[in-house]
A and B are shown apart, each in its own frame.
Chain A
Amino acid sequence: MKSTSYNLIMSALYKGMKGERPPVGNPTSIICHGLMDLCGISFPEAHLEPQAMAELALAGHEILGFDTVMPEYSVDQEAAALGCKVDWGDRNRMPDSRHFPYEDFSDVKIPDDFLEKPSIRVVLDALSILRRHVGGKAAIIGKVMGPWTLSYHMAGTQNFLLQIGIEEKEKVHRMIRQLMPATVASARAQFQAGADIVVLADHATGNLVSPRHYEEFLLPIHRELTSTIEGPLILHVCGNCTDRLEMFADAGFDAYHFEWQVDAKTAVEKIGHRMCLVGNVNNPEVLYQGTPEDVYKQVRYAIEAGVDIIGPECAIPLATPIENLRAIVSAAHEGY
């Protein structure tokens, strides 16, 4: 196998042949001020303009040396298309939803032109631009929100979680199920537009909700999603999910992108034989506040543990020093 960026990522995704070194990937945003300055593109235009979105994603590959390009930096693209008012932020601030259209848990309506809404279209167009630039060279990663995360956006996170707490199960089941087609449509369209892999982010976060909640409400839905969406999927769930790793494998995802709270060795031991693992360099203490030496140690630990694709645990703080991102790449370039 040639050790190109694309080959290394795709082979690692399916736990195939190992190339010269472990691949470096970013299922979530690696945009920091340093990278924005180097390529002359900033937020919010990189959330709103396909060319800017694609070029900033390319910078992750061309300037930093990541083996992937991932053009979706916010978690609000589908939410905006479903009727949330999204504040797209600025250079120093990520976007956020400011209004919850289904606070009353009324029936969710997915618009007929959902895929043509500007916040969805921009990602699809950016993926196609990336395909033309680095198709077959770097792995192109798309990103969609799962129905659990979309429920936070539609009903408000506290409101949604409270319904679980007071056992309004029917409401919860109904909302998730009604939102599932939005995730499916978005993911399929991203594959068709040029994504090699799609990240499905669904924040049934460790410490926030229990493995029982995941099993009861989300596991059946995730099983349906993984059997309906044909292309390779990386699940992203934040927090310490050590207690539910096996369920993520049961759900049928090809890979899991995990945070530093889950020990890399434990993750590999529990599910490394069933799915690809992506992660898990710590954001707050290592990438943001640490030194390249700290980053090096974490990367080498993850590689030795058997993590398949190395990258930050989650979207990085915008003020992350760029040399710490470069340190991920150089540590992985030392090989296995």
Chain B
Amino acid sequence: MSKLLSTIKEAVVNRKRKEIEGLVGEAIEAGIDPTTIINKGLIEAMDVVGEQFSASDIFVPEMLASALTMKMGLEKVKPLLTSADQPSRGTVLMGTVKGDMHDIGKNIVNMMLEGAGFTVVDLGVDLTLEKLMEEIERLKPDLLGLSALLTTVIPEMERAVREIGEKGLRKNMKIMVGGAPISKTFAEKIGADGHGADAAEAVALAKRLMGE
């Protein structure tokens, strides 16, 4: 069993997109518990990938390929999960702020959060404040993740955080922010609840904000 799980882990780390579904299939057939496949195979792999990324051993292209490999594996196992197997850690609403079409970082964070057991609702890119408010009121998420890549749009992130607060929508929801130009100092200045420098940090932050 552990041999198969470590092969799955290696496949994710080494971005073997073509092999992952077959390997996960084998693990399922071998009777390995779906949550074990997720936690000991797929997620442990992404922990390794996250560390490699933080250490600049790999960059976004490799991270992206690994995350997509993990997601393919996850999709294969998911139908076998019952809600009792993996209760959601919380609902996260994710989006790239208005004026910005960049979503790679956000997409990687989404995949990592899903892998970690969060329910992720992705609102996409170029997100208007109206749409964002509407979805917060409708879905009542535990966390909101806002992303920005362009330095030209960072005022939009500040505005979103401020107006969501003014509308009283932060009582039961924490806001995390990230993206290349966003620093911890900036996140603090605009009053966000936390900042993740990369995808692994974002997942750790989400867990922390959920009080884990």
Name A's B-contacting residues (CB within 8 A): 29, 89, 92-94, 96-98, 157-158, 161-166, 205, 207-210, 213, 238-239, 243, 283-285, 288-289, 313-319
Contact = CB atoms under 8 A, between A and B. Distances in A.
Contacts of A29: 152
Nearest to A283: B151
B173 to A, nearest CB: 24
12 contacts: A96-B100, A96-B126, A157-B102, A161-B60, A162-B65, A205-B180, A213-B59, A239-B180, A288-B154, A315-B152, A317-B151, A317-B154
A314 B149 CA distance: 12
B183 A317 contact: no
Contacts of A163: 61
Interface of B: 15, 17, 56, 58-66, 68, 98-104, 107, 126, 150-155, 180-183, 185-186, 189
Contacts of B185: 285
A166 B67 CA distance: 12
B152 A317 contact: yes
Given A284-B182, A317-B154, A319-B155, A157 B63 contact: no
A165 B61 contact: yes
A207 B59 contact: yes
A289 B180 contact: no
B181 A283 contact: yes
B154 A284 contact: yes
Leading 7 A-B pairs by shortest Cβ distance: A165-B65, A165-B61, A164-B61, A319-B155, A283-B151, A210-B59, A93-B99
A89 B126 CA distance: 11
Given A158-B103, A208-B60, A284-B186, 11 more contacts: A97-B101, A164-B61, A165-B64, A165-B65, A165-B66, A166-B15, A209-B59, A284-B151, A285-B183, A285-B185, A315-B150
B155 A94 contact: no
Given A93-B98, A166-B15, A284-B182, A161 B104 contact: yes
Contacts of B152: 29, 94, 315-318
A238 B15 CA distance: 27
Nearest to A94: B152
B60 A288 contact: no
A21 B158 CA distance: 36
Contacts of A213: 59, 61
Contacts of A98: 101
A93 B148 CA distance: 13
B64 to A, nearest CB: 5
Nearest to B181: A284
A238 B149 CA distance: 11
A162 B181 CA distance: 22
Nearest to B16: A166
Contacts of A313: 151
